[in-house]
Amino acid sequence: AEEILKLLKPILSTVIDSGITSDKVLGKAFEGLSLSIEELREQSESW
């Protein structure tokens, strides 16, 4: 699971930062997903 999170995080960050998402709703959804991934990563590291 941690390997998947490591792969998804930079992809989502790039999509959010690059301006590819012109739709604010889609951008917010990706931001929320990115935050969730970060939280999961932190939790998996504390196990």
* DSSP H/E element including 32: helix 24-45
pLDDT at 20: 61
Distances (CA, A) of 1 to 4, 33, 34: 5, 15, 15
| Predicted local confidence at residue 29, as pLDDT | 79
| pLDDT for residue 41 | 85
| Confidence (pLDDT) at 11 | 79
Please list the pLDDT of the chain residue by residue as tens digits (47 residues). Answer: 678 778 788 877 777 776 665 677 677 778 888 888 888 888 888 87
Please give the pLDDT value at position 44: 85
